Amino acid sequence: MPIAGGCVSEDASEKGILSQMSSPVYSYLLPLARVLLRLFFHRIEVKGSQAVPTSGPVIFAANHPNMLMDALVLATSQPRKLSFLAKATLFHSPLLGRFLATVGVLPVYRRSDKHGETGKNVLTFGACFELLKNGGAVALFPEGVSHERQAILPLKTGCSRIALECEERNNFNLGITVIPAGLYYSAPAIFRSDILVVLGPTLDPADYFEHYRSEPQEAVRKMTADLERRLRKLTLHVPHLEDEPLIEGLRHMFTGAPDMGSRLAIDQTLVKAVAHFNASDPERYRRLRRDVLHYRQWLFALDVDHSRLERRNWSGTIRGMVPRLVLGGAALPLFLYGALNNFLPYKMPGWVSRVVAREPVEVATTKLVTGMVSFPLFYSLQTWAVWRWFGSAPAIIYAVLLPLTGLAVLFYVEATREFFGALRPWLLYWSKGHRMHRVQEMRDEIVRELELCRSEYLALH
């Protein structure tokens, strides 16, 4: 099934797909992807990489909250070369279809995309079987769709079908390893946010061989259900949509997590606690939910963070800010130079995403792809202009300084946001003291109730 111009030939073979995937483009692009992700995200944490075998057939099964970002994060967070499965509609574009085939992406035909095309999945599955037989690694997103829910949607059976049928074709001696992968974003669409990748523990298809020999469909469903339960433990799973705003509000009430792993553990505990109180004391649950959401509305309106609400000693705060002001003032000329030269390529991804991204899950991918175009384009045009006006030597120096000053601007902006984030509550106490005191009272009441709930919950668990 060679892919040419994004169109999939009906009469091609699995070997045709594999020949398309032998291109070295994947290996060339992987280092670039690592650099781009390190720039896009403030912090990337990976746990469980030791669960990934260095050789042998592997299937990665991950949740799918952030479109292309999920594939890039998974590809760069472990050492294996991955062949991804993706919806066939992505191959309709001639340019994108050729690129996806070149980097080893296989098309999956869904009933919801086009009637009567699901039969082509036989060839895709055949290519997966051949890859796994040769010790390769396949990656897929068994939810079947990228979504903004803070939950694991019911899984499709593709992962289990591929693993068990491939083993059957090889007399159940292949030794495929299935690795659940949990992707947990602090803010999926936000530039310089954080992400946690949790790999494993592995799922062994051998546990289902006997059942598969007698009842293959039931064994596939059983393995899929077990995979779904494991994925729910690896990332944030809020079963009820109406609880997501409450979990989001409570998350900001429990600050101080040193890393994303600790933050995920806190979120998972909050989900369990919310479910407990909703079942045991519905009235108390509804009252707490109303108060927390009302409090969050006040914070958004005032544009202040929960962790900065508590008033501190003025003199200590000012003494801590003076060195930052001095350092920020000294670095201001460098910032202005870098901001002037990087303004358009930096702003372009945000502008484009507001126009192009139709759903929240598309925002981060749109920003990343636009940035991959805007920075090289503007850097090239700006360097060319300097070369035309000032000559080659200044142009070379200018070209070297462009990315360096761009990074300096990025760090300067982050430090500035932190500075004004700390300063803003004090300004609000001075200008809107009555509102801040009201919000402070709301905060204290909620914190007292939360501490009481936590004590009761921990006593029972």
pLDDT of residue 122: 84
pLDDT in tens, 252-283: 887 667 789 999 998 999 999 999 999 999 99
Q: Is the pTM of this model over 0.85?
A: yes
What is the pLDDT of the chain when averaged over all its residues? 87
Q: pLDDT class for 10, splitting at 50, 70, 90?
A: very low
pLDDT in tens, 350-384: 999 999 998 899 999 899 989 999 999 999 999 99
pLDDT average, residue stretch 215-237 = 97
pLDDT of residue 213: 96
pLDDT of residue 154: 96
| Secondary structure (H, E, C), the chain | CCEECCEECCCCCHHHHHHHCCCCHHHHHHHHHHHHHHHHCCEEEEECHHHCCCCCCEEEEECCCCCHHHHHHHHHCCCCCEEEEEEHHHHHCHHHHHHHHHCCCEEECCCCCCCCCHHHHHHHHHHHHHHHHCCCEEEECCCCCCCCCCCCCCCCCHHHHHHHHHHHHCCCCCCCEEEEEEEEECCCCCCCCEEEEEECCCECHHHHHHHHHHCHHHHHHHHHHHHHHHHHHHCCCCCCHHHHHHHHHHHCCCCCCCCHHHHHHHHHHHHHHHHHHHHHCHHHHHHHHHHHHHHHHHHHHHCCCHHHCCCCCHHHHHHHHHHHHHHHHHCHHHHHHHHHHHHHHHHHHHHHHHHHCCCHHHHHHHHHHHHHHHHHHHHHHHHHHHHHHHCHHHHHHHHHHHHHHHHHHHHHHHHHHHHHHHHHHHHHHHHCHHHHHHHHHHHHHHHHHHHHHHHHHHHHC
pLDDT of residue 4: 30
pLDDT in tens, 91-137: 877 777 777 877 888 888 877 766 557 777 788 888 899 999 999 99
Range with the lowest mean pLDDT among 14-23, 119-128, 207-216, 370-379? 14-23
Domain residue ranges in the chain: 3-234, 314-441
pLDDT of residue 317: 57
Is CATH 3.40.50.720 correct for 3-234? no
Asked if the model's pLDDT at residue 20 lies above 70, the reply is no
